[in-house]
Amino acid sequence: MKPQSAGDSMEDSTDAATSFTGDSDICQQLLHRYGNSAAPQHRHLCATAAATRSIIQSESLPLSPLSYFAATIDALSHTTNDVDAVSALSSFLAIVLPLVPEKCIATSKAVEAAEIVVRMVESQCEGLPVSTVRALVKCLGVLMEFCGLDDWESVKLGFQMLMKYSVDKRPKGVWASSFWKNL
């Protein structure tokens, strides 16, 4: 993971996820909150939300947290070597995913999404800002709730990644320990 400067932080965006609701369009909520911000991370987040909304609308799907989740995880699975894109998509996913109603993501899709998240962390970990890794680990924790926990092989990879970050003693790993305490 690369060190994070104040300008790199999307932490305020992903930590604010608790104040967003699934009752109205999440893109509209983000644009209302961050649309006038000059911060690059907020502009990337708003652009990601708007692009995702455009994709959902072009497919004539509802602007629901589930639709945003599906479109965002698909975009994340096709993103390579673009740290800004991964950061924005990860932050957006960390906001959207907790808004998806319980049992709305099929177990097989949750397992597939968890594998995508783990692959993102493992393949780009050295170049990702701490806030992006934090958002991805948060997403992984939420995705594990949608997985069939009775099938160890399907959740093994996700839990291994969560354990790796929860016991990491390096300063960058300490935040993961506090992440678990705040769940």
In this prediction, the residues of the chain whose per-residue pLDDT falls under 70 are: 1-18, 22, 124-126, 152-156, 158-160, 162-163, 165-183
Measure the CA–CA gap between 86 and 83, rounded to whole angstroms: 5
Q: Look at residues 26, 18, 10 and name the one whose alpha carbon lies nearest to residue 183.
A: 18
**pTM of structure:** 0.77
Q: What is the pLDDT of residue 149?
A: 72
Q: Look at residues 81, 88, 22, 23 and name the one whose alpha carbon lies nearest to residue 49.
A: 88
Measure the CA–CA gap between 109 and 102, rounded to whole angstroms: 14
Angle at Cα 125 formed by Cα 124 and Cα 130, nearest 5°? 125
Q: What is the pLDDT of residue 64?
A: 94
Q: Using CA atoms in the order 33, 35, 39, 40, what is the torsion angle rounded to 10 degrees?
A: 120
pLDDT 10s digits, 129-164: 888 888 988 898 888 888 877 776 666 676 667 667
Look at residue 129 and give its three-state secondary structure. Answer: strand
* 177 neighbors 162 (Cβ within 8 angstroms): no
